[in-house]
Each structure stands twice: as C-alpha cells, then as structure tokens.
Structure 1
Amino acid sequence: MVISMEKNTKILIGAFTLLLVIFTAFFISELLQRVPPNDISVTGNTAGNLNNNGLYAESNGKVYFSNAYDNGCLYSMNADETDLIKLTSSPVNSINVGGKHLYFYMDSSSGGKGLGYVIRTYGVYRTRLNGKGIECLDRSASITMQLVGDYIYYQHYNNKEFTKLYKVKTDKSENIKVSDSIINPAACYNGVIYFNGTDKDHYLYALDTRTDTITTVFEGNLWYPAYQYGYIYYMDVSSDYRLCRYSLTDNAVEVLTNDRVDTFNVGENCIYYQRNSATEPALMRMGLDGSNPEVVAMGNYEKINLTSNYAYFNAFNEPTPVYRTPVNGSISVSAFAAAENAAAQNAR
C-alpha cells in the first residue's frame, strides 16, 4: 500500500511538472508573439528611404537592410557595417522598424531558389528583430508601407480595387480600408501622413491617423513629399521637377535647386538627389537649405537610402554593385563590400 501511494504521488508530481512545463512554454510563446503598443509618434522609416524602395531602416544602432548581393534578403548589421546577420530567405523591401518588431513587404517571386520558391509567397509581414516569429499580416500586393504607432498604413493592390490605402494593426487584429484614393503613406511625422494628390490635383494633403481625416495643406503642384524639421521637401512638378521645400510654419516656398530631379532623400543634415541631365547626370549632395551642392558620383543612380553613417545607392537598373559614401563629411564612394562578403558566406 505504501509503495502504491508513493507511486501515485510520483505520477501526480510528474503530471504536475509536465503541465507546468507545457504552461510555461505556452506562456513564453504567447509573450514572444505579443506586440507591445507603440506611441503615435513612432514611425517605421523615413520618407526618403521608403520612396527609394525602403531598402534600409535604422533603430537603436542597428540597420536592417535588403541585401542586393543575396537576392534582396533581409539582413541586420551594426550602423558601422559590422556583425551582418541574415534574417529571411526571401527578398524584402519597404522595411519598417518599431519597438521589438520589423515590418516589410516580402515577395519570393523575385529571388531565391529551390523547392521553397516553387510557390510564390508575398504580402505584408512582421517579425521580431532577430528574424524569428515571422507572420503575414496581409497576403496582398503592397507598394509602399509606413508604420504609424500601432498600425501599418500601406498601399494595398489587387486586380479588382487596384491601389487603395489600407491599414492593418501590428497585432493583426484589425485590417481596414482607409481611402479609395491613391495615397503614398511614406511621409509621416507625429501621427500625420503628408501626401500629394493624384486624382484631380497634386496638392499637399495631411492625413491625421488619430481620426483618419484628410485636410488640404498647400495648393501646390508637388510630388514625393518628405517631412524634415518643420519643412516638406518635394519635387515641383510645375517647374520641371526641381527640388523645393515648403515651411509648415510660414507657409513659404524655397527653391533649393533648379536641377531636374529624378529621386531624392532628405537626411539629418543634407539632401541627396539624382540630377537629371542629358550631358552631366550625377548623384548630388547639398545642405538642407540647398547650400553647397557637390557631386557624389557622375552618372545615373537610384535607390538612394540613408542611415546615420552612410548613403547607399546603385547605378540605374543595376542592383549590384551597391555603392556607399559617408552620409556626412567628405565624399568617398566605395562598394558595400561587407554585404557582398556576407552573401558569399551564406551561399556556402
């Protein structure tokens, strides 16, 4: 009888221990999957980066980037280009980072090999900063997306509705159409998305994400607005796409360059832009007020993405090599060798 009672006690203790282990594992799993709330002021990337495919995003000294040397797969690294780690096996763009998570558009159709690429996977995805716990938030085509607080605002595309503005909550609990208009959500500051009209005009509009209401800001003729320090930087459609800025405080316009601009990116201290010219096309850099313009590289370049340390870009329609130069200070263009080396090591 004593032996039987001892045996039953051991069985009960074992069962209790097993249940405790299962409960603990479940609790940890749920904790890891939980998406903490963000303040409304949190944005996932800069307008300049997102308007240049959103290939780089930076947070807390870490840069998350689409490695062109590895079919555009997602990598992380320190801002000084050390400690490169591969996070996904499919190409990504429109990278956003906020809190403990990354958000991006992933499409396996443009890269990769093997059985896993027979079936196309694409959509708006979320993952933890280490690339673990990947989850699809919306399996649809998306052009540009921006994290605003607890929502991803994104250009949702399908063959029936074409391009509409949607938002999906970061924990996937809500997915809502915001507008039937074609709205680029890239430029955002303190919960307000600034965008240019596309339907009947090219005015500057503001979408307050607290209420999803839209107001007219400036009746100009602009394209690709980007917010920085109280100004909206933009390409002036009515004047051969020259670069200007509009003061939200003074309601005044300043012309920054009379060069025709193909694409641009506004950083903390300077602007990078591609000068369109039949005879002297060049990647240019100048101050935020248009001062001290200088040539970064002669030729035609695209996908200008900025981090705290470097400006990254590539020749038009040539994904590699990827070039970079210190974002501030003296210009010194060289290849992004660390990314190429990391891709080669991962291919072994």
Structure 2
Amino acid sequence: MKDKTKLMAILAISAVIIISGFTVMFFTQRVRMNDGYVTGNTAGNLNNKGLFCESDGVVYFSNAYDNGCLYSMNPDGTNMKKLTSSGVTSINADSHYLYYFLDSGQTGDKFVQRNYGIYRSKLNGKNPKCLKRGNAIALQLCGNYLYYQNFDNYNENGTELFKIKIDKSEDTRIADFMVNPACIVDGIMYFNGTKKDHYLYALNAANDSISVVWEGNIWNPIYYNGYFYYMDVGNNYRLCRYLPSQNAVEVLTNDRVDTYNIYGDYIYYQKNSQTEPALMRMYIDGSGVEMVAAGNYSNINIVSNYVYFNAFDSTVPMYRTPLYGSVQVSTFDAAEEAAIKEINKK
C-alpha cells in the first residue's frame, strides 16, 4: 500500500510539472497583441528607409558601420547594444516587439545562403521569427498587423500591398498596385495614387476599404497636426501642405525636394539643385529656412533629439545634428566605435 501511495504521489507531482511546463511554454511563446491602432514608426522615418525608430525611451537603428545590423541605444547615443547579425531596414517597434525587414548574405564553403524577409523579435533582439520570406520594400505596424509592400519579379503587377498579422496567422493581399503604407494615423492609412493619378487616398484598416480624400497631385504624404504635408508632383516637387478643414494649400518652399521628414517644430529636407544642393531645415509653417549641410544627402531619420543622415552616394560616414537649437553637424562616432568593438569580438 505504501509503495502504491508513493507511486501515485510521484505520478501526481510529475503531472503537475508537465502541465506547468506546458503552461510556461504557452505563455512565453504566445504573441502579445496590441490594443488599438498603434503604429511602429513615424511616416517620415519610414519614407527614408526606416533606419531609426524610437520607442519607450530607446532608439533602435541600422548601424551602417556594421553592415546595417540592428543596434539599440539611449537617445543621447550611449549604452549601445548589437541586436542582430544581419542588416535591417523599415524598423518598427511596439511595447513588446521589434519588426523589421532583414536581409542577410552568408557565405559558406560551397554556396551562398541568403536569408531575407519580415522578422519579429523581442525588444532585446532575442527570439527572432521570420513572418514572411521575400522582398518587403516598406512596412508599417497598424495594431496587430504589418502592412507591407511586396515585390515579386514574377508578378506582372510588380509591387503590391499586403498585410500580415504579427503572429503570422494571416497574410492577405490588400491592393494589386503600389501603395506606400508609411503614413497611418488612428487606423487610417494615407497614401498617394500610383496608377492613374496622384490623388490623396485613405485606407481604413477596419475593413481595408479605399476612398479618395483629395484630388491633388501629391507624393509621400505625411499627416501632421491637422495638415497633409506632401511633395507637389505638378510643380517640380516643391513642398506644400494641405489643410482639409479649409480645403487650402500652402507652399512651404519652391525648392525641388528629393526627400523630407517632419518632427516637432521642424521639417528637414534635401534640396535638389544643379548648383547648390543642400540638406535644409525650416519650421513646419515654411519660415526660418536655413542650410544644414551643403551637398546631396539621403535617409533623413529623426528621433527625439537628433537628426541622422548620410551622403547620397555612401552610407558612411553617418552624420547627425541636434534636432533643436543651432545646427551642429558631426559624424556619428559612437556608432562607428560600437561597430569596431563588435567586429573585433569575432
């Protein structure tokens, strides 16, 4: 009888341990969902490849000094940590995860293996999961879905808009034409037409229905403080803003604009000029125009206290200047130093 009682006790304890193990595994592997239509990065950053992203006091960035690998740091550039061993773009973040497009070419003894696609990982870079293998040009988080541009050489439509659930349970084509998903506000995606016109359109994430907002001639719209900022296609890509409540347009600069970004009180933009190209900045109403750096620059990414950019024809050096106050352009030395330390570990 004692042996039987002992055996029953052992079996009961074993059952509890097994059930507890499965419970822990379930909760640790379960994907945590978002409340509401949270987004993963600013439209301006994503229009500039999404190389920087700030969330809950942490800046995540693609370190060009380390082949674009994902790093994290404090907003002032301290406490740098390497999170991936492959290059990333279109960085998004919510309170639980990071999302990004990862592209890796790893050379073996007899072959080259390339891993690329949309990934989700923990905020510390651990437990990366591939959600979708393939080419994703740009992606933006909206609640529990990632809207992304999918490019396929074998598809006659070229670039199409898809959305995939963050737990990988759904992957749906939304539009059979090119749509830029960068600008999403309160569950509404704003984008310019690419087929027969360049109107301003809205996509409602609740049902993915598309409607015309304004029959303008625009490119790369950003909704900010009640205005739609955009590049005016019909007028040499000058930068304007549209106030829908008054159906009014304001010209902010007559400079031809290659790319731009908005944060706080400022617009930073690349001026296209045969003789005087320059990275410029101005207030969001078009006043206070000043030059940041002479020359051609791209990938203007902005976080809470710095503006990051690089020369048009080279990803390094990385440059930065304070977002506010006087212009003080410097090389992003902390990123280079962190990359050198990581490379020396190999």
What TM-score comes out, normalization by structure 1 length? 0.93
How far apart are the structure 2 equivalents of 1:14 and 1:324?
A: 63
Q: 1:264 aligns with which of 260, 266, 270?
A: 260
Task: For 1:291-310, list aligned pairs within 5 A.
Answer: 291-310=287-306
Match of 1:77 among 68, 73, 79: 73
Task: Provide the C-alpha distance between the structure 2 equivalents of 1:158 and 1:315, rounded to a whole number of angstroms.
Answer: 29
The 5-angstrom pairing of residues 167-246 of structure 1 reads: 167-246=163-242
Structure 1 pair 114–15 and aligned structure 2 pair: CA distance change class (3 A): farther
- Structure 1 stretch displaced more, 243-252 or 30-39: 30-39
Match of 1:152 among 136, 139, 146: 146
C-alpha separation between the residues in 1 aligned to 2:223 and 2:324? 19
Partner of 2:309: 313
Amino acid paired to 2:72: S
- Give the conservation status (yes or no) of the 8 Å contact 1:108–1:117: no
Match of 1:193, SS state, is strand
Structure 1 residues not aligned, in runs of 5+: none
**Which of 122-131 and 246-255 deviates more?**
246-255
Work out whether 1:119 is the aligned partner of 2:113: yes
Aligned residues of 1:203 and 1:216 also touching (Cα < 8 A)? yes
Q: Which amino acid aligns with 2:316?
A: T
Superposed structure 1 runs of 4+ greater than 3 Å apart: 11-26, 112-117
Distance 1:15 1:309, change over 3 A: farther
1:28-39 alignment to 2 at 5 Å?
Answer: 28-39=24-35
- The CA RMSD measured in Å over matched residues stands at 1.9
Between the aligned partners of 1:333 and 1:13, the Cα distance in structure 2 is 71
Change (3 A) 1:142 1:19: same
Matched, 1:134 2:128: yes
Where does structure 2 lack aligned partners over 5 or more consecutive residues? Answer: none
Per the TM alignment, residue 309 of structure 1 is displaced from its structure 2 partner at its CA by 1.1
- Which of 252, 274, 281 aligns to 2:277? It is 281
Percent identical across equivalent pairs? 55
Q: What residue in structure 2 maps to residue 342 of structure 1?
A: 338
Q: Give the 3-state SS of the residue equivalent to 1:286 in structure 2.
A: strand
Cα distance in 2, alignment partners of residues 26 and 289 from structure 1 = 57
Matches for 1:79-98 after TM superposition, within 5 Å: 79-98=75-94
Change (3 A) 1:250 1:37: farther
C-alpha change, 1:264 and 1:114, in structure 2 (3 Å) is: farther
Cα distance 1:131–1:221, how it changes in 2: closer, same or farther (>3 A)? same
C-alpha spacing 1:175/1:27, structure 2 compared with 1 (3 Å): same
Bigger shift: 171-180 or 16-25? 16-25
Separation (CA, whole Å) in 1 of partners of 2:111 and 2:321: 34
> CA offsets, 1:111-133, max 9 Å, x none?
x6667993111111111101112
TM-score (norm 2): 0.94
Q: Give the match for residue 63 of structure 2.
A: 67
Structure 2: which amino acid aligns with 1:158? Answer: D
Residues 1:328 and 2:324 aligned together: yes
Q: Which amino acid aligns with 2:233?
A: V
Provide the aligned length of Structure 1 versus Structure 2: 342
